[in-house]
Amino acid sequence: MIEREQIEMDVVFVGAGPANLAAALHLKNQIKVHNDLIDRGLPGHKVGDLEIAIVEKGPFVGAHILSGAVMDPIAIRELMPDFLEQGCPVDTVVTDDEAWYLTDTKSITAPITPPPLKNKGKYIISLSKMCEWLGEKCEEAGINIFPDFPATEVLYNDANQVIGIRTGDKGIGKDGERKPNFEPGVDLLAKITVLGEGSRGSLAKQLMSRLGLMEDKEPQVFSLGVKELWELPAGNFPEGKVVHTLGFPSDTETYGGGWLYGMKNNVLSIGYVTGLDYKDPMIDPHAEFQKFKTHPEVAKILAGGKMIKYGAKSINTGGYWTMPKLYADGVMLVGDSASFLNGQRIKGIHTAMKSGMLAADTIILAFASNDFTSETLHHYHESVRMSWIHDELFPVRNFHAAFQRGRWSALVNSGLQYITGGLAWGFMPHEYHVAGHRRMEQIDGSASPAVTGGAVDRKQTGDGRESQAADAGSSSVGPFYHLNHAERYEDLKFDKQLTFDKITDVYHAGVSHDEDQPSHLHVLDTEICATRCTEEYGNPCQRFCPAAVYEMEANPQTGRRELKVNFSNCVHCKTCDIADPYQIINWVPPEGGGGPNYKGM
């Protein structure tokens, strides 16, 4: 039994991303506002000076933060109306935006940029820099930030109420034994814990499963964004220009698209998003991105330039129907952990920040009434519903679902949804399930399992992960598409000028992990890798991981191909935890500080 230090806080935020940083800062600011109002006669109780902590697994705020990114400033303006005067490190104002359709050799510019992709007046930013700056603002406001502190467990009391988090032990060797520098993790106890870990948060996953927060929700849908920063020769791409692309190299069955954002000093943010609900297990999202750069129009822009940074990150693209229940006793979910991203606009920073600020308002209510249960925390859900987040996300609630039948129906549906405020034909799984369920109730007084089968699966599986796997399994088990890896990418060569292999890219992600620690990638049954997965999917982990972590290697004794996990390459994108068809990979936070270094990305 390990003796652990217990530290009592009032509020603990897990993850120093935009949602939690905005939440903590707003909380500090609004306590003053609330107490002033009480002084002026508003009925209610004052809130004392709260002890607030933000725990972050990276070595500094921003180290593990990655996004495109074009930010809609609506939320930061609410948080800090003078954010520019206060030195917010926005890179460039968007002055021009275009949407390109890429054929194999040509690019066709849309005569009118679709309204959701209009970005003029918004800001191109490095989200890592922005979070670093917000972290400084938090510290100036008296908020405790603990970098190098990966939260590994949610703590509950006997009534299943969340009472804080446990951080990971440090100083355990790869053999599982304690090293001389062993330090047990600490228990941070809090009246309210806020999870803002980003996409596929490891504590959020535990919480959703244990408390059933995904009941009656659609399973989450993810994409993987792969990004590089390039220094270009002057004149190759204008500062302030934003381009989004559709088409090459994705096939019409696969959700995907590229971006090019012109930053200051001839730096270009370039990246490609691939939907992780792809059907062909031979797809490699990193290779899709490398192929994207070989398109003549894109290669022309990159000519003579130099790649300076690399990163990859999963993105919640499911939207409104895939949002979990946002609260439970003692806990709230914010930002990407709660699926606040607007997939149609490819934007989530503003909604993440706003969700954090709304959570902070509810925290004040909770402390003013000394009640930290769902009774009070449900106000967070209500305030989200009453806010512009709902107004923005509800009309695009069926956006991703429309891609289930490929690119062309998605384009038609996106247009219809834009006109009708979210309605379209035939591709609205949640509305369909609800409507189907109601129809069956009307017919025979009970819902048929055949009609509600998907929903039953989801109820049984809690966080939706297993049902996604089941869905993926049922659609993908059996023969692959006709493509194989060599054919799909046969023209792709890594010349280390325009295109890079995964290992070279990982080097540019600045990844480091202490090698003498247990792997943070728990593969629960490696026998499946060597048998069923080889036969049924061709071991897709070797392709979907953008950092060459997984390799099937011949065992020198037996000659049998077995899984090798190069965990120290991991860029913490969480794709393996999401996309493994058997759901036997569990990503857990490594020892404090390990991971990529996205400073300035």
How far apart, in Å, are the Cα atoms of 112 and each of 98, 419, 601? 8, 16, 30
Binding ligand SF4 (rule: CB under 6 A), the pick from 27, 298, 410, 571 is 571
Judge contact between 315 and 347, C-beta under 8 A: no
Identity of the residue, 17 or 164, whose beta carbon is nearer to ligand SF4 in the bound complex? 17
How far apart, in Å, are the Cα atoms of 557 and each of 526, 534, 553, 562? 17, 19, 12, 11
Residue 345 interacting with ligand SF4 (CB under 6 A): no
Residue 431: exposure state from Cβ atoms within 10 A (0-12, 13-18, ≥19) = middle
Residue 572 interacting with ligand SF4 (CB under 6 A): yes
Query: Quick one: which segment of 290-298, 327-335, 391-399, 571-579 binds ligand SF4 (CB under 6 A)?
Result: 571-579
According to DSSP, residue 265 is labeled: G
Identity of the residue, 72 or 577, whose beta carbon is nearer to ligand SF4 in the bound complex? 577
Instruction: Compute the least distance from the CB of residue 569 to ligand SF4, in Å.
Output: 7
Instruction: Compute the least distance from the CB of residue 68 to ligand SF4, in Å.
Output: 18
According to DSSP, residue 595 is labeled: B
Identity of the residue, 367 or 550, whose beta carbon is nearer to ligand SF4 in the bound complex? 550
Instruction: Compute the least distance from the CB of residue 101 to ligand SF4, in Å.
Output: 30
Q: 223: which strand partners? A: 275, 315
Instruction: Compute the least distance from the CB of residue 576 to ligand SF4, in Å.
Output: 3
Identity of the residue, 250 or 575, whose beta carbon is nearer to ligand SF4 in the bound complex? 575
**What 3-state DSSP class applies to 281?**
coil
Identity of the residue, 199 or 351, whose beta carbon is nearer to ligand SF4 in the bound complex? 199
Identity of the residue, 164 or 595, whose beta carbon is nearer to ligand SF4 in the bound complex? 595
**In whole angstroms, what is the distance from residue 539 CA to residue 537 CA?**
5
Judge contact between 340 and 172, C-beta under 8 A: no
Residue 574 interacting with ligand SF4 (CB under 6 A): yes
Binding ligand SF4 (rule: CB under 6 A), the pick from 576, 590, 597, 601 is 576
Length of the chain: 601
Instruction: Compute the least distance from the CB of residue 206 to ligand SF4, in Å.
Output: 17
- Non-local (6+) Cβ contacts of 396 within 8 A are 116, 319, 320, 342, 343, 344, 345, 417, 422
Cβ atoms within 10 Å of 41's Cβ, excluding its own: 6
Token representation of residue 74: 């609506």
Instruction: Compute the least distance from the CB of residue 521 to ligand SF4, in Å.
Output: 5
Task: Fill in the per-residue mask, 119 to 138: x = in contact with ligand SF4 (CB under 6 A), - = not in contact.
Answer: --------------------
In single-letter form, the type of residue at position 480 comes to F
* Side-chain-side CA neighbours of residue 582 (13 Å): 21
**What 3-state DSSP class applies to 580?**
coil
Identity of the residue, 73 or 168, whose beta carbon is nearer to ligand SF4 in the bound complex? 168
What residue has token string 């370039």?
270
How far apart, in Å, are the Cα atoms of 463 and each of 476, 506, 594? 21, 30, 27
Q: Is the dihedral of CA 508, 512, 515, 521 positive or negative?
A: negative
Identity of the residue, 38 or 588, whose beta carbon is nearer to ligand SF4 in the bound complex? 588
Residue 66 interacting with ligand SF4 (CB under 6 A): no
Binding positions for ligand SF4, 409-428, rule CB under 6 A: none
Name the maximum alpha-carbon separation found in the chain: 80
**In whole angstroms, what is the distance from residue 128 CA to residue 311 CA?**
12
**In whole angstroms, what is the distance from residue 339 CA to residue 218 CA?**
11
Binding ligand SF4 (rule: CB under 6 A), the pick from 79, 570, 590, 597 is 570
Binding ligand SF4 (rule: CB under 6 A), the pick from 245, 317, 337, 575 is 575
On the question of a cis peptide bond just before residue 249, with omega within 30 degrees of 0, the verdict is: yes
Identity of the residue, 324 or 546, whose beta carbon is nearer to ligand SF4 in the bound complex? 546
| Residue 119 CA to its chain's centroid (Å) | 21
Instruction: Compute the least distance from the CB of residue 570 to ligand SF4, in Å.
Output: 3
Identity of the residue, 282 or 573, whose beta carbon is nearer to ligand SF4 in the bound complex? 573
Name the phi and psi angles at 164, rounded to 5: 140, -160
Q: How many residues bind ligand SF4 (CB under 6 A)?
A: 13
Task: Fill in the per-residue mask, 533 to 562: x = in contact with ligand SF4 (CB under 6 A), - = not in contact.
Answer: ------------xxx-x-------------
DSSP assignment of 347-366: B-HHHHHHHHHHHHHHHHHH
Instruction: Compute the least distance from the CB of residue 49 to ligand SF4, in Å.
Output: 39
Query: Quick one: which segment of 65-73, 127-135, 436-444, 573-581 binds ligand SF4 (CB under 6 A)?
Result: 573-581
Burial 470-486 (b: 16+ CB within 10 A, else e): bbbbeebeeeeeeeebe
Identity of the residue, 305 or 596, whose beta carbon is nearer to ligand SF4 in the bound complex? 596
What Rg value do the Cα atoms of the chain yield, rounded? 24
Judge contact between 4 and 168, C-beta under 8 A: no
Instruction: Compute the least distance from the CB of residue 500 to ligand SF4, in Å.
Output: 15
Residue 70 interacting with ligand SF4 (CB under 6 A): no
Instruction: Compute the least distance from the CB of residue 281 to ligand SF4, in Å.
Output: 14
**In whole angstroms, what is the distance from residue 217 CA to residue 206 CA?**
16
Binding positions for ligand SF4, 494-533, rule CB under 6 A: 521
Judge contact between 159 and 329, C-beta under 8 A: yes
What is the H or E stretch that residue 383 is in?
Answer: helix 374-386
Instruction: Compute the least distance from the CB of residue 249 to ligand SF4, in Å.
Output: 20
Instruction: Compute the least distance from the CB of residue 222 to ligand SF4, in Å.
Output: 11
Instruction: Compute the least distance from the CB of residue 572 to ligand SF4, in Å.
Output: 6
Identity of the residue, 353 or 573, whose beta carbon is nearer to ligand SF4 in the bound complex? 573
Query: Quick one: which segment of 183-191, 208-216, 347-355, 568-576 binds ligand SF4 (CB under 6 A)?
Result: 568-576
Identity of the residue, 345 or 574, whose beta carbon is nearer to ligand SF4 in the bound complex? 574
What residues make contact with ligand SF4 under the rule CB under 6 A? 521, 545-547, 549, 570-576, 587
